[in-house]
Amino acid sequence: MFFNPSLYRYPSRRMVVFAQNGMVAASTPQAAQAGLEILMKGGNAIDAAIAAAVTETVCEPCSNGIGSDTFMIAWSQGKLHGLNASGPSPQKQTLQSIKEKHTDMPRAGWVPANVPGAPAAWVTLNERLGRLPFAEVLKPAIRYAEHGFAVAPMVGSSCVSAYHSYKTRNTGPEFRGWFEAFAPGGKPMAIGDLVQLPDHARTLQLIADTKGEAFYRGEIAEKIVAFAQETGGSYCLEDFGDYQPEWVEPVSINYRGYDVYEIPPNGQGIVALMALNILKGFELQERENADTYHLMIEAIKLAFADGRKYITDSRFMRMPVEALLSEEYAAKRRALIGQQARPPEPGDPYSGGTIYLCAADNEGNMISLIQSNYGGFGSGIVVPGTGVALNNRGNNFTLDEEHANVYAPGKRPYNTIIPGFLMKDGAPLGPFGVMGGFMQPQGHLQMVVNTVDYQMNPQESLDAPRFQWTSGQSVDIEQSAPLHVQQLLARRGHNLTPRVASGGFGRGQIIWLMPNGALAGGTEPRTDGTIMGW
């Protein structure tokens, strides 16, 4: 039997998934199944999310890996918890050393590779909020890496695309590990292939057996640092040994009676909150209306202008988050929106990659988790013999010495990954998120509007056409958006580009807690998304 797994001639519809005892929504079926397996073994939602996240490093390596960073918001023990497990830049790499060779932060290689935070996040979450032994939670991922898995359509397409790009662009000795791991013999992982990742399995087993110590203060750290020093990187053992994830208080705004929570900077979650704060001052018409699209686009443009100016490592922020999220500042920014598209410009409050998954259980625990290598496979560097693909999160630094987000040793840059969480009247409604670089706050904005303003169910909210503001007055829009809406937006000055391919519009998951205690979930139609309920 021969068919094209990337071709779909007819619209397909998914239904909302309901469950009673637990639910996991992830962007690959293996990850969702891994989370469900842990729930059925007696683990809670946090354990399930860890299992799914680790499995994603195996089954969706084009989006995240063991060398990722991770952010998380969870409702557990009667309160919200936030975890920032993004890593800093190497301590021995200086701004001057980068500027001697580059005019901008490079996208690939050692320079943008920050310290991975994901393994520390898994351990920390399990110790504080989980229930099962850590090694038990990692078993599904290790099994997939050791015994194999079938490559999903979006994963296979991304891996083949990366291979064709890397074979001409990433030619230095530091990149040989990527080809050995993900394109052995010159054959990249493709759709439907049966793949084993033995190096990945061994590394995950070491992390499981040592609760992450081998990664940060043992054998794996030593291999990473040795390879860096051999091929031109700046990592030292102290970069890994000193690393600890940070527990943080999620920040929020109230949008039409609902509290929307995000992780504070260095994450870009406040961009979504600023845009919602602006938007709530308008009365929206029906969803597929040019006015609705225009207001959302203009709000996100203004929020991004501020975000790109002010967001960086929280220790280096020059503008308090409270000021950016204040009602007074939202009113000032709102007043700038007219009938025509305008270029985005930052204001002054004081002047006049990635994979996303979520899980829930029948005890009230709910978690929103996002994990990313940033640029697909990240830096393009995989440490030989380990399966560790290193992120390129440092690419988000600027080399402008006057900017808040300028590169510095041991500093965390503006980070694109953001988990979301929705509450009402002090009670949790559930986790939501949309991955995809700078699409993420725009996806969060559209998910909240779909849910709150238009009472869409979680699947419908994810199915709805999306837009992505890219720069200036340029906006990508899915071709499924009504033609009359596109025409009217163009007349208002938006430079629209309709897109057939949906890869740039993010990939999301949603789980809502119903009044009767049931769980209702939606999964992303633009990827290999799967929900497992129990």
**pLDDT (tens digit per residue) in 276-298:** 999 999 999 999 999 999 999 99
Please provide residue 482's backbone torsions phi and psi, each rounded to the nearest 5 degrees: -55, 140
Taking only the tens place, the pLDDT of each residue in 79-113 is: 999 999 999 999 999 999 999 999 999 999 999 99
List CB contacts of 372: < 8 A, sequence separation 6 or more. 63, 64, 68, 69, 70, 353, 354, 355, 391, 393, 416, 417, 435
Closest alpha carbon to 496 in 297, 276, 345, 295 = 297
Q: What's the Cα-to-Cα distance from 401 to each of 32, 347, 398, 407, rounded to whole Å? A: 44, 20, 8, 8
Confidence band of 352 (pLDDT split at 50, 70, 90) = very low
Tell me how far apart the alpha carbons of residues 45 and 58 are, in angstroms, rounded to a whole number: 20
The answer to whether 502 and 436 are in contact (CB under 8 A) is no
Taking only the tens place, the pLDDT of each residue in 228-249 is: 999 999 999 999 999 999 999 9
Q: What's the Cα-to-Cα distance from 450 to each of 95, 293, 356, rounded to whole Å? A: 43, 12, 19
Tell me how far apart the alpha carbons of residues 291 and 304 are, in angstroms, rounded to a whole number: 20
The per-residue pLDDT for 293 is 97
Tell me how far apart the alpha carbons of residues 116 and 275 are, in angstroms, rounded to a whole number: 30
How confident is the prediction for the chain on average, in pLDDT? 95
Strands 427-435 and 420-424, bridge-based pairing: antiparallel
What is residue 353's three-state secondary structure?
Answer: coil
The angle formed by the CA atoms of residues 127, 129 and 135, to the nearest 5 degrees, is 45
As a whole number of Å, the CA-based R_g of the chain is 22
Confidence band of 1 (pLDDT split at 50, 70, 90) = low
Mean pLDDT of all residues in 198-218 = 98
Taking only the tens place, the pLDDT of each residue in 116-174 is: 999 999 999 999 999 999 999 999 999 999 999 999 999 999 999 999 999 999 999 99
Taking only the tens place, the pLDDT of each residue in 332-349 is: 999 999 999 988 888 777
Q: What's the Cα-to-Cα distance from 377 to each of 13, 253, 373, 382, rounded to whole Å? A: 30, 34, 6, 9
The per-residue pLDDT for 153 is 94
Closest alpha carbon to 138 in 78, 222, 48, 223 = 48
Tokens encoding 61: 């390596």
List CB contacts of 99: < 8 A, sequence separation 6 or more. 399
Q: What's the Cα-to-Cα distance from 509 to each of 27, 357, 394, 415, rounded to whole Å? A: 8, 6, 27, 20
List CB contacts of 475: < 8 A, sequence separation 6 or more. 297, 467, 468, 469, 489, 494, 495, 496, 497
In the 8-state DSSP scheme, what is residue 486? H
Please provide residue 446's backbone torsions phi and psi, each rounded to the nearest 5 degrees: -70, -35
Tell me which H or E stretch contains 205.
helix 198-210
Taking only the tens place, the pLDDT of each residue in 469-517 is: 999 999 999 999 999 999 999 999 999 999 987 778 999 999 999 999 9
Mean pLDDT of all residues in 264-277 = 96
Strands 194-195 and 366-372, bridge-based pairing: unpaired
Taking only the tens place, the pLDDT of each residue in 12-26 is: 889 999 999 999 999
Strands (E), 316-363: 355-361
Taking only the tens place, the pLDDT of each residue in 417-466 is: 999 999 999 999 999 999 888 899 999 999 999 999 999 999 999 999 99
Evaluate if residue 256 carries a pLDDT over 50: yes
Evaluate if residue 255 carries a pLDDT over 70: yes
Q: What's the Cα-to-Cα distance from 64 to each of 67, 225, 372, 388, rounded to whole Å? A: 8, 20, 4, 10
Mean pLDDT of all residues in 56-78 = 96
Closest alpha carbon to 347 in 302, 389, 387, 379 = 302
The per-residue pLDDT for 353 is 59
Task: State the alpha helices, DSSP H only, in 311-406.
Answer: 321-324, 327-334
List CB contacts of 49: < 8 A, sequence separation 6 or more. 24, 35, 72, 74, 125, 357, 358, 359, 367, 369
List CB contacts of 318: < 8 A, sequence separation 6 or more. 310, 404
Burial class (CB in 10 A: 0-12, 13-18, 19+), 397: buried
Beta bridge partners of 427: 424
Tokens encoding 453: 């303003």
In the 8-state DSSP scheme, what is residue 94? -
Put residue 129 in one of left, alpha, beta given phi > 0 → left and psi -120 to 50 → alpha. alpha
Tell me which H or E stretch contains 277.
helix 269-279
Tell me how far apart the alpha carbons of residues 201 and 180 are, in angstroms, rounded to a whole number: 15
Tell me how far apart the alpha carbons of residues 532 and 512 are, in angstroms, rounded to a whole number: 14
Q: What share of the chain is helix, strand, coil (3-state, %, to 5)?
A: 40, 20, 40
In the 8-state DSSP scheme, what is residue 455? -
